A and B are shown apart, each in its own frame.
Chain A
Amino acid sequence: MHYPENTRQVEAIIQNARKIKTPLVARSSRGPHLHGASENPIAETVDFSCMNRIIKIDRRSRYVRVEPGVTFGELIPLLKDAGMRLNMPLLPRAGKSVVASALEREAVLIPKYQYDYTDPLLTVEAVFGTGDVFRTGSAAGPGSPEETRADMVLPWGPGCVDYLRFFTGAQGTMGFVTWATLKTEVLPSLSKLYFVQAASAEKLTCLANTLLRRRIPDECVILSRVSFAAAFAEDAAEEDKLLSTLAPWVMLCRICGFERYPEERLSIYEGYLKEVCAEAGLEAVPEVSALPGLADKVETKITDCDRRKTYWKLRRGGVREIDMLCPPSRAPRLITLLENLSCPGAVGITVQPQVLGRAFRIECSVFFSGDPTETEQVEKALEDVSRQLFEAGAYFDRPYGKLSKIAFESDPVSTEAIRKLKRIFDPDGILNPGKLCF
């Protein structure tokens, strides 16, 4: 295990690893590690937990610059104090690295702020597998980060290459990121959460498509009732209550007002929401009767990370997941395949509109006991359904484990081109070998 404290030490670790031909794997988050990207039995681990500085919080230009060891649990309250918020995933665990989440292109809750799949990640400093330090976008220069007068927020370049994209979805195979700049948004002055329930997911995916075309909601996510109950119940009794009361699908939709005339904005956008829902034959309501005070609790949770002792996905003991992207029109077909999944435990599905609503990230989580026999059955069921999903048009853009084979086997030309790039930035293949197509 290596515990670097600064970029220089990361450079030295990688340079030495090249010399002695030792593979390395980066780890930034505290456990549990659900996807295995930061675990590699043949590699030494570079643990970034000691690189946990919040380098800058800039309210005026709305960004934050942090090292990879900074977690959601630490950053969210500090940003709130500064009047800002992150566009973040649904209930990440408190110990999850903010940088790792963005690098993995995890789904974000506010699609209207996501213009590109790499958002909210703006720029990074990284050390390539060659041992060279590099900074992306407007962080590249001119000069060092200490010299530049730029805010280092522009993601593209330098030059005609989008270097930031070498690191996103790469599972640490191209380089190790030593700090990242992330876009932040203004904290609403006023907000109201609405629930829209439906018997079918399709009703809600169509609704989300319409709402996001008009940029109506801030947070917008669709959950099967199993996922809803797992995320927001505090115990098994609450979970049972939610499962027996809720419709099969629930959309959370948050409307916000900002510093200037917040009541007016809220009122206008509430009107839009209700109008669109009515046109779809649905109803947006501010409360569901399943549990008292549920709306407040849900709103608090979706604007924070999961600070409970047991991470919500692990309350039953074990979880196995697959996630995929698709355009809105294809979502209902993929969701139906997942709804028919047969395996031990409970199958939860989360549908998160992304990139201004032009794509949906569908996450399927199987919550089960964690028993080894069940684990095998769940993994087999997910493997089987993955092939069906792929054939039905699911795009596995950030594949873990066996999914990599499906994701890369369909096009040898592009796979070979990615390998060409890997040979440039990690010529000795020491960074997380065996992952993706490397």
Chain B
Amino acid sequence: MALSCDAYRELAAIVGERYISSKQHILAGNRVKTPEIPFEYHSPDAILLPGSTEEVAAIVKVCNKYGISFIPFVSGVLPDAYANREGTVLIHLKRMNRILEINEEDRYAVIEPGVRHVQLYPEVRKRGLSYTAASVGPGGSVLANFTSTSGDHHTQYGTSRANRYLLSVEMVTPEGEILRTGSLPSGCGWFCPDGPGPGLRSIVRGYFGSHGQLGIITKAAIGLEACKGPAEYRTEGISPHHRVIFDSDLSRVYVFNYDNIQKVCDAMLALGEAEVCSTVQKYFYLPLTLLMTDSANDFWKKWTGGYKEAMSMPLVVHIAAQSLREREYEEKILFDVVRETGGVRLPEELENWWSEHMDFFMVVSRLQSVLRLGGGWMPLKLGADSVQHVCDVGQSIGEYIYEFTETGKIFDAPENYQIIPMEYGHFAHIELLFMWDRTNPAAMKGVGEFRARSRQEDLRRHFHAEDLGCLNPTMEELGPLYSNCHIWMRKIKESFDPNDVANPML
């Protein structure tokens, strides 16, 4: 369905002809790009590039008037950011890319959706501050990470997940009203997400964001922390063969390998109780080997030449202390814990890679190299609970993944999951990343089978291994097992989006 002439004219009047397109080649270029995902995706009917909150609100009002579905778009990483039915427009927010404020004293920044990590992170870092930059690479939208996507990142052990730092926001409701949450509407600034009373932060994001179903967030404030590690760092070489180095005695990276996830769990909890180390995580060994190599051939040589075994369950630890004495104190505890839990320090050749790639602990600038093998990849689970619980989830993967790895349906890397604790071990997140050969029809079929099996095994064990997203068929299916949240979500959506135009998925 193409837009009616009247609708197109009204939309064009809002943004100007330059910032709207319904040309087929433009629209086709903005379809979902992952063919293995078993949904039907459409080209949008138009793409609009608003320049302000007021323009977004006006667009949404026109969409309501003509019954046009709309989807906010900025990084385009998730399939939910693309048209899933006819009669949909994409509201691309990339022009709204201003850093509106960095408040050093009160430690927050106010940003628009188009601000990328590469834009914001250096600005706050040079002020001695930092934020929880999700592990999506420098091109990701900061606002999307805080309000919509999972937002998990490598340094959340000593801090927390991005949504914990989301403060007041300005958003356009599904009916086109401009809404401000938390302390903002009281004229008290951006610092507080909650209240008055229960407030509206509840509908801004839960575990994930609503992907536009409950509104489009056009400005957000995020909390900043003092940066862990030096504010200045040294870079060498040219991307992708560059190195990022902390020239500081206060910063050290150690990597230990384990043979048992329960021992990893013990180590994480012991370090958390002692409140030492800045980063602690069990990383995936497959992307790690890809990060450490320069080509697919190099990867295969090293993967089969011992990297797989040497780093089967790596516990990555970054110490960022405030004094030499504190660093030594933290090291002493770290080595005690590792000794008690049976960790083995990685050979120098492997461990040194980390000290030369400290961007891993800031904004991961080489993430694209994990796609080097050219196959398909997909994250699974993505849930969180206590460190113990997610380690139990991780341990269970070994009980069923072999049926898929041994038949060649997915890459043979059974321990390829990461666990990142948060808040010094109060919670942890798990992500199982699996890869497959896109040229193999059996493997393509196996993708769906493995996804289904992973979920089925978690449900059978009553594991909280995944959370639900927005109001979509999965939520309708699983909602009855999750406190009937599908019913409540439906009621909330109906109340705020009576015309069902805000990224409908049912």
The answer to whether B495 touches A397 (Cβ under 8 A) is no
The answer to whether B197 touches A170 (Cβ under 8 A) is yes
B303 at the interface (CB under 8 A from A): no
Q: Which of B312-338 contact A (CB under 8 A)?
A: 322-323, 325-326, 329, 332-333, 336
Which of chain A's residues have a CB closer than 8 A to the CB of B223? 355-356, 358
A157 at the interface (CB under 8 A from B): yes
Decide: A142 near B386, CB < 8 A? Known: A115-B164, A149-B461, A399-B196: no
The answer to whether A264 touches B389 (Cβ under 8 A) is no
- Bound together, the chains give a CA A393 to CA B120 distance in angstroms of 27
- Bound together, the chains give a CA A356 to CA B201 distance in angstroms of 19
Encode A131-162 as 1/0 by CB contact (under 8 A) with B. 01111111111110001111111101111111
Q: Which residue of B lies closest to A359 (CB)?
A: B191
Which of chain A's residues have a CB closer than 8 A to the CB of B214? 160-161
Q: Which residue of A lies closest to B178 (CB)?
A: A413
The answer to whether B185 touches A151 (Cβ under 8 A) is no
Minimum distance in angstroms from B472 CB to a CB of chain A: 10
Which of chain B's residues have a CB closer than 8 A to the CB of A437? 196-197
Closest 4 CB pairs of A and B: A397-B195, A157-B207, A411-B185, A150-B464
The answer to whether A260 touches B205 (Cβ under 8 A) is no
The answer to whether A151 touches B485 (Cβ under 8 A) is no
B122 at the interface (CB under 8 A from A): no
Q: Which residue of B lies closest to A125 (CB)?
A: B483
Minimum distance in angstroms from A136 CB to a CB of chain B: 8
B287 at the interface (CB under 8 A from A): no
Decide: A115 near B160, CB < 8 A? Known: A169-B197, A358-B107: yes
Which of chain B's residues have a CB closer than 8 A to the CB of A259? 273-274
Encode A256-286 as 1/0 by CB contact (under 8 A) with B. 0011110011001001100000000000000
Q: Which of B85-121 contact A (CB under 8 A)?
A: 103, 105-108
At the interface with chain A, which of B242-250, B289-297, B440-448, B486-494? Answer: B486-494
- Bound together, the chains give a CA A421 to CA B496 distance in angstroms of 9
The answer to whether A329 touches B106 (Cβ under 8 A) is yes
The answer to whether A414 touches B105 (Cβ under 8 A) is no
Encode B202-241 as 1/0 by CB contact (under 8 A) with A. 1111111111011000000001011000000000000000
Q: By the criterion of a CB under 8 Å from any partner CB, how many residues of chain A are at the interface?
A: 96
A407 at the interface (CB under 8 A from B): yes
- Bound together, the chains give a CA A3 to CA B140 distance in angstroms of 52
B66 at the interface (CB under 8 A from A): no
B186 at the interface (CB under 8 A from A): yes
Partner of A160, one of B183, B207, B491: B207
- Bound together, the chains give a CA A138 to CA B429 distance in angstroms of 12
| Given A141-B481, A358-B107, A393-B187, 15 additional A-B pairs, CB 8 A | A62-B273, A136-B483, A138-B385, A141-B482, A143-B462, A150-B462, A154-B427, A159-B482, A160-B211, A162-B205, A166-B198, A169-B195, A268-B326, A414-B185, A421-B200
The answer to whether A169 touches B196 (Cβ under 8 A) is yes
- Bound together, the chains give a CA A136 to CA B164 distance in angstroms of 16
At the interface with chain B, which of A229-237, A238-246, A320-328? Answer: A320-328
Which of chain B's residues have a CB closer than 8 A to the CB of A195? none
Q: Which residue of B lies closest to A118 (CB)?
A: B194
Q: Which residue of B lies closest to A411 (CB)?
A: B185
Which of chain B's residues have a CB closer than 8 A to the CB of A328? 105-106
The answer to whether A152 touches B385 (Cβ under 8 A) is yes
Q: Which residue of B lies closest to A206 (CB)?
A: B105
Which of chain A's residues have a CB closer than 8 A to the CB of B478? 142
For this complex, 16 residue pairs linking A to B, each with C-beta atoms less than 8 Å apart, are A60-B269, A118-B194, A133-B483, A134-B485, A135-B483, A138-B464, A142-B481, A156-B206, A159-B471, A161-B488, A161-B492, A268-B325, A326-B188, A357-B107, A421-B200, A421-B202
- Bound together, the chains give a CA A49 to CA B350 distance in angstroms of 59
- Bound together, the chains give a CA A135 to CA B326 distance in angstroms of 42
Which of chain A's residues have a CB closer than 8 A to the CB of B389? 61, 149-151
Decide: A160 near B188, CB < 8 A? Known: A153-B426, A268-B323: no
Which of chain A's residues have a CB closer than 8 A to the CB of B332? 261
Which of chain A's residues have a CB closer than 8 A to the CB of B426? 61-63, 153, 183
A408 at the interface (CB under 8 A from B): yes
The answer to whether B489 touches A141 (Cβ under 8 A) is no
Pick from A60, A133, A158, A329 the residue with the most CB of B within 10 Å.
Answer: A158
Which of chain B's residues have a CB closer than 8 A to the CB of A161? 202-203, 206, 210, 214, 485, 488-489, 492
Which of chain A's residues have a CB closer than 8 A to the CB of B161? 156
Minimum distance in angstroms from A295 CB to a CB of chain B: 24
A390 at the interface (CB under 8 A from B): yes
The answer to whether B196 touches A159 (Cβ under 8 A) is no
Which of chain B's residues have a CB closer than 8 A to the CB of A42? none
Minimum distance in angstroms from A358 CB to a CB of chain B: 5
A364 at the interface (CB under 8 A from B): no
The answer to whether A159 touches B198 (Cβ under 8 A) is no
A380 at the interface (CB under 8 A from B): no
Which of chain B's residues have a CB closer than 8 A to the CB of A390? 186
Decide: A268 near B329, CB < 8 A? Known: A134-B488, A148-B464, A159-B489: yes
Minimum distance in angstroms from A213 CB to a CB of chain B: 4
- Bound together, the chains give a CA A436 to CA B108 distance in angstroms of 28
A165 at the interface (CB under 8 A from B): yes
Which of chain B's residues have a CB closer than 8 A to the CB of A395? 183, 186, 188-189, 191-192, 195
The answer to whether B485 touches A411 (Cβ under 8 A) is no
Partner of A158, one of B178, B198, B201, B485: B485
Q: Which residue of A lies closest to B223 (CB)?
A: A358
The answer to whether B194 touches A165 (Cβ under 8 A) is yes
A29 at the interface (CB under 8 A from B): no
The answer to whether B489 touches A160 (Cβ under 8 A) is yes
Q: Which of A161-213 contact B (CB under 8 A)?
A: 161-171, 173-174, 183, 186, 209, 213
The answer to whether A149 touches B463 (Cβ under 8 A) is yes
Minimum distance in angstroms from B152 CB to a CB of chain A: 12
Q: Which residue of B lies closest to A394 (CB)?
A: B188
- Bound together, the chains give a CA A394 to CA B201 distance in angstroms of 19
Partner of A396, one of B186, B200, B468: B186
Q: Which of A372-398 contact B (CB under 8 A)?
A: 390, 393-398
Minimum distance in angstroms from B307 CB to a CB of chain A: 33
B403 at the interface (CB under 8 A from A): no
B43 at the interface (CB under 8 A from A): no
B469 at the interface (CB under 8 A from A): yes
Which of chain A's residues have a CB closer than 8 A to the CB of B475? 159
The answer to whether A140 touches B194 (Cβ under 8 A) is no
Minimum distance in angstroms from B208 CB to a CB of chain A: 5
Pick from A132, A137, A259, A328 the residue with the most CB of B within 10 Å.
Answer: A137
Minimum distance in angstroms from A137 CB to a CB of chain B: 8
Which of chain A's residues have a CB closer than 8 A to the CB of B384? 138, 154
B282 at the interface (CB under 8 A from A): no
The answer to whether B164 touches A168 (Cβ under 8 A) is no
Which of chain B's residues have a CB closer than 8 A to the CB of A117? 192-194
- Bound together, the chains give a CA A330 to CA B183 distance in angstroms of 13
Which of chain A's residues have a CB closer than 8 A to the CB of B202? 161-166, 421
The answer to whether B194 touches A397 (Cβ under 8 A) is yes
Partner of A418, one of B191, B192, B198: B198
B179 at the interface (CB under 8 A from A): yes
The answer to whether B194 touches A168 (Cβ under 8 A) is yes
The answer to whether B269 touches A410 (Cβ under 8 A) is no
B180 at the interface (CB under 8 A from A): yes
- Bound together, the chains give a CA A178 to CA B156 distance in angstroms of 31
B24 at the interface (CB under 8 A from A): no
Which of chain A's residues have a CB closer than 8 A to the CB of B226? 213-214
Q: Which residue of B lies closest to A209 (CB)?
A: B105
Which of chain B's residues have a CB closer than 8 A to the CB of A34? none
The answer to whether B177 touches A413 (Cβ under 8 A) is yes
- Bound together, the chains give a CA A403 to CA B153 distance in angstroms of 40
A296 at the interface (CB under 8 A from B): no
Minimum distance in angstroms from B480 CB to a CB of chain A: 9
